Structure 1
C-alpha cells in the first residue's frame, strides 16, 4: 500500500522528473544518506534504489565531517484517490474450459499525506565541502558495492516529508457469479475454487497510519568514483555516476528510432518462443497476465519473483501477498522447470513482458486491459511496425473505431502520436520520449505472441 501510494504521488507531482518514491516505511532516508542505484536486467527498465544505513560522512576519509547547509520550504498539500470500477458479463470460451462470469469489482486507494515540506541541500556549498575529499575505498559498503555489477552510489540531496500524522486507506469490494469451472475470480481474491453457479463476495478496508517526519520521496546526486577514492558529484541529470573501470570507452549515441528497431529485432526470438507454445498454455498465460493488470503491485511482485528466483538470484527478497499469489503461481506452474531456481529461455521471455508491463504507468495499464483480446492485440502489433520504422499503415477492417480510439490513447500515454490520414494510420515518436515507446512495443508484441492464432 505505502509503495503504491508514494509511486502514485511521484507520478502526479513529478512525472518524468527526478524524484524517487520511497518503497518502504522501514527506509530511514535523510539528507546525505548513501543510496545504491542498481541497474536492471533489461537496459530500459527503471533502476532500483537501495537505501543504506550509511551517510556520506561514514564513507569519507579524515575526521572533518561534511556539514550541509539545508533549505526547508513548504512543498504542497496532497490528497489523492486512485481506483477503478469494473462491472461486466463475460461468456468466454477458453481451451478446456467454458466460463460464464458476471462480476462487480471496485478498488480504491486513498492517500492523505496532508501538508508536505521539502528539505534541500545547498549544492554549491556541498561542492566546496567535498573538494579534495577522498572516499575510504576499504569501507565494507564500498567494497561490497564495487564487487557487484551495474551498481552506482548516490547521496540524497533533497527529500519530501510529512509534517503531520497521515494515512493511506485501501478499500476493496468484490462480488460475482460464475457458471462453469474457474480457479480465480480476480487477482485480489484469496485462493478459492469456484464450482458450477458459485458466487463470491469480498470486502476489505485497510488503513495505514503514517507518522510525521516520514520521507515519501527523495532526489539523488550520483557519484563518479575514481579507483583512488577521489570522486565527483554528477550535477546534470544526464550525467551518470559509477565506479571507474579500466578500458572503458566512450558511450555510443544512437537515434531513438534506430535503437528501437535494433532492440525489437534483438528481442524477436523471445516473442517467437512465446508464439510457439501450445495454444492452451498461451491462452491461459494471456488470461493470467490480464488478471494481474488489475493490480500494478501484482505485476511488480511477479517481476521480482522471476528476477530473484531464476534470473538474478539473491538480488532481493519478495513475498507476494496472498491475493497476488494465486495468479503468480498459476503462471509459474506452466513455465517453471522441476528444478528449483533453474532459468529457461521461456522464463526470460516471460520476464521480458512482465518487466515491460512493470514500467508502464497506471493509466497505460488501465487502457491496455481493455485491449487485451486477440483481435485488438494483433491489430496493435501491426501498428508497432509503424512506430518502429514503417511510418504508416493502410487501414483494415480489424481496426474498428473502438480499437483505434483505445490504441491512440495507449500510444499517446507512451509518447507516441497516432492519427488517421484518409485510409492510412500514421505514427510518430514524440521528442523527448525516453524508453516508453520501446516498452510499449515490447508489451504489445509480447502479448500478441500469446494471442497468436497460427
Structure 2
C-alpha cells in the first residue's frame, strides 16, 4: 500500500469520496464539494468571495464551476464604507457528522460470439470481472457558519467597489455570479481514503478452418489477465472539504442584496441609457431538475446546427477529431479537463495549459490546430461556431456516466456509430415502433459483441433495448433525467464526424 501526495488520480479519489459522503448526509444538495485539496489551502475562509460560473447556454446538465479569488467581502467594499465598523460576524461551530463508508461498483461481463466465413469459423469467449471499491473515513467532521442575520444587517447601505479588479473581471463574464462563503465543512483529524481496483478476466478463442477442401484444422487459444491496484492517502486535519455560499445581486451603482432564499444572483446590466435589465444572465441558462420530463426530440432539434457544422468539415479533419475524441474518452478526467479548457476558449479566454499533463496539452493543441486549419482569417463567426460545436460534444461526454463513456469509446467505428445514431433518432421520436435488424444501417448490431456494447451504452443512459430475434424496440425508463440527452448528443456528434 502506498501513501501518495495529491496528484491528478488522487484528486479524483478525494472528489469521489467527498461527493459520495455528501449524497448521504446532504439531502437538499446545499453543500458544494471541493474539487481539490489545493482549493482549501487558505482560500475557502468564511466570507471569502467565490465566483460561480453557470453552464453555457444549452449545456444545462453541467455542474456550475466555483473558484475562490483570495479576497473577502470586506476587501471589495467601496473605499471608506468598511471603516465605520469591521465585518466580523459571529461564527457558530458545531459537529457536522461522524462518517465512514465504502462505495464502489462491481461488473461482470460474459460474452460469446461466432464469426463465420467461407474459410474459417471463429468463436470468441470473454469473461471479465471488475471491481472498484473505495473506502473513506472522514471521522468527526466540523461545521463552521457565520451568523447570516449579522451579515444582512451589515450589508445594508454598503456598496461594492465596482472598479476593484475582481468585481470588474467577474462582471465582464456573462455567466459569472459573485457569492460569499457562509458555511464550510472541515475535517477534525487525518482522514484515510483508500481505492482498491481489481480486474480479472479470461479470453478464449477457437478457430476451425477448412484446409485444401478435404481436411479440417482446429486451434484453441486462451489467456487470462489480472490487475490489482491499492492506493491510499490521508486528508490532513482542518481541511475544508465542502462549503456553501450566498449569491449576490449587484446593481450598477455597487449596491447589492444577499439572495437568501434562491440562487438568482448576478449583475445588473445596462440595455440603453434609459433602460436596465435586471439579472441579464438569467435568460442564458435553463434550469433543469435531474428527474424532470425531457422532450428529447425537441432538445436535439435545437442543437442540429452544431451537428451540421461538424458534418461539413473536410474528411481528414473529421477523422482526426473522431480519433481525438475516442482517445480522450479512455480517461474520464481528461474529458473534464478538455471541457473546461474549451469552455474558456469559447469565451475568448486563453486558458493556462501549464498545469495539464502532457497528453492533455497535446489533445487540446491538436484540436485547436484542426480548428485553425479549417478557418480563414476573416471567418471568426465560423471559428466560434466550430468551437461551440466541439465544446458541446465534449460537454455531453462529460455528462455521461463513467460506464457509459467507457462503452461508447469502444463503439467509435463508422458502422457502429451510424447504427447508434439510428437508435438515438428512434428513441428521440418516442413512437415505440419496432426496428428491423435486417435493415442495412442496423445490420452491425446482429454481431453479439456489438449488440452487447450497445445494450450496455443505452442501459447506462436509462434506455432499454428489447430484442426479439431480428427485431428491436427501445423503451425509455421512468424519470431518465438528462442521461438520454447527453448520450444522444455525443452519439450524434461523433456520427457527424464519420
TM-score, structure 1 normalization? 0.71
Task: Provide the residue aligned with 1:396 in structure 2.
Answer: 436
Unaligned runs of 5+ residues in structure 2 are 1-8, 112-125, 201-225, 271-275
RMSD: 4.8
Q: Does the residue aligned with 1:319 lie in a helix, a strand or coil? A: coil
Distance 1:254-1:288 versus aligned 2 partners, 3 A rule = closer
Q: Post-superposition shift, 1:155?
A: 1.3
Between Structure 1 and Structure 2, whose CA radius of gyration is higher? 2
Note the 1:172-191 alignment, pairs <5 A.
none
Residue 335 (structure 1) aligned with residue 335 (structure 2): no
Residue 17 (structure 1) aligned with residue 29 (structure 2): yes
Unaligned runs of 5+ residues in structure 1 are 90-101, 176-200
CA contact (8 A) 1:70 1:120 kept: yes
Give the counterpart of 1:410 among 440, 445, 460.
460
CA contact (8 A) 1:78 1:112 kept: yes
Give the counterpart of 1:32 among 35, 42, 47.
47
1:18-66 deviation line (CA, Å, top 9, x unaligned): 4333233332212221101123444423332111211223334333214
Note the 1:28-427 alignment, pairs <5 A.
28-44=43-59, 45-60=62-77, 61-63=81-83, 64=85, 65-78=87-100, 110=134, 112=136, 114-115=138-139, 116-167=141-192, 209-237=234-262, 239-246=263-270, 247-248=276-277, 261=297, 263-277=299-313, 282-283=318-319, 285-308=321-344, 312-317=348-353, 319-322=355-358, 324-325=360-361, 328=363, 331-332=366-367, 335-337=370-372, 343=383, 345-369=385-409, 371-374=411-414, 376-386=416-426, 388-397=428-437, 398=442, 402=452, 405-412=455-462, 424-427=473-476
CA contact (8 A) 1:298 1:320 kept: no
Q: Paired residues, what number?
A: 411
Task: Provide the residue aligned with 2:223 in structure 1.
Answer: none
1:298-357 deviation line (CA, Å, top 9, x unaligned): 11222334344576323555532135456x269538724369999465444322211221
Q: Post-superposition shift, 1:67?
A: 0.5
Q: Does the residue aligned with 1:337 lie in a helix, a strand or coil? A: helix
Q: Post-superposition shift, 1:229?
A: 2.5
Tell me how far apart the structure 1 counterparts of residues 466 and 142 of structure 2 sit (CA, whole Å).
Answer: 42
Q: Post-superposition shift, 1:271?
A: 1.7
1:152-188 deviation line (CA, Å, top 9, x unaligned): 101123222222223556789999xxxxxxxxxxxxx
Distance 1:75-1:367 versus aligned 2 partners, 3 A rule = farther
Q: Post-superposition shift, 1:273?
A: 3.7
Q: Does the residue aligned with 2:372 lie in a helix, a strand or coil? A: coil
Task: Provide the residue aligned with 1:189 in structure 2.
Answer: none
CA contact (8 A) 1:109 1:170 kept: yes
Distance 1:429-1:216 versus aligned 2 partners, 3 A rule = same
TM-score, structure 2 normalization? 0.66
1:183-238 deviation line (CA, Å, top 9, x unaligned): xxxxxxxxxxxxxxxxxx9999876543211112222211111223322222334x
Tell me how far apart the structure 2 counterparts of residues 403 and 43 of structure 1 sit (CA, whole Å).
Answer: 28
Q: Post-superposition shift, 1:78?
A: 3.9
Q: Post-superposition shift, 1:111?
A: 6.4
Tell me how far apart the structure 1 counterparts of residues 67 and 467 of structure 2 sit (CA, whole Å).
Answer: 45
Task: Provide the residue aligned with 1:185 in structure 2.
Answer: none
